[in-house]
């Protein structure tokens, strides 16, 4: 059974949705951030009308997912800092027009063919 849990803070307006598999990506998700084909959207956090975190999961390998995001972000005009890969995880940071996104890609410890990509969005100088 699929479902999600939503937590909202009435003071700040922050909203987190977890376990969002099979549900639509929010309209506030940045349109120039690539979404890997075959990956399922699994959750997000939104603050003041902007998505600040998001996650996707799906089949593949760390090298496949890392190569996809390096290429796809470049095609959308993002500037990449060096990608760091250690053991079963990659970390990449992208910049574009005073915005930044950090992407962490890791494999499931119980299933190395199942990948998760987490996104952290922010502003840059």
Q: Is the pLDDT of residue 59 over 90?
A: yes
Of the two residues 2 and 62, the one the predictor is more confident about is: 62
What are 1's two structure tokens? 């059974």
Rounded Cα gap, residues 91 and 83, in angstroms: 6
Which alpha helices (DSSP H) does 47-108 contain, by range? 62-75
Task: Name the pTM for this structure.
Answer: 0.84
Domains by residue range for the chain, with CATH = 5-123 (3.40.1000)
| The pLDDT of residue 49 | 78
Give the pLDDT confidence of 30-39 residue by residue, as tens digits: 999 999 999 9
The answer for residues whose C-beta is within 8 angstroms of residue 37's C-beta and 6 or more apart is none
Give the pLDDT confidence of 65-114 residue by residue, as tens digits: 999 999 999 999 999 999 999 989 999 999 999 999 999 999 988 888 89
CB atoms within 10 A of CB 83: 16
What are 9's two structure tokens? 């803070």
Give the pLDDT confidence of 10-25 residue by residue, as tens digits: 888 777 777 666 677 8
Mapping DSSP onto H, E and C, the string for 28-74 reads CCCCCCCCCCCCEEEEEEEECCEEEEEEEEEECCHHHHHHHHHHHHH
Rounded Cα gap, residues 22 and 37, in angstroms: 14
């Amino acid at each position: 059974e699929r479902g999600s849990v939503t937590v909202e803070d009435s003071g700040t307006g922050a909203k987190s949705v977890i376990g969002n598999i099979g549900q639509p990506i929010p309209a506030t998700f940045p349109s120039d951030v690539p979404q890997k084909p075959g990956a399922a959207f699994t959750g997000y956090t939104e603050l003041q009308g902007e998505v600040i975190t998001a996650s996707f999961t799906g089949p593949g390998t760390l090298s496949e997912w890392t190569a996809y995001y390096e290429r796809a972000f470049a095609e959308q005009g993002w500037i990449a800092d060096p990608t760091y890969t250690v053991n079963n995880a990659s970390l990449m940071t992208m910049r574009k027009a005073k915005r930044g996104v950090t992407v962490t890609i890791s494999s499931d410890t119980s299933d190395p063919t199942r990948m998760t990509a987490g996104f952290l969005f922010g502003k840059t100088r």
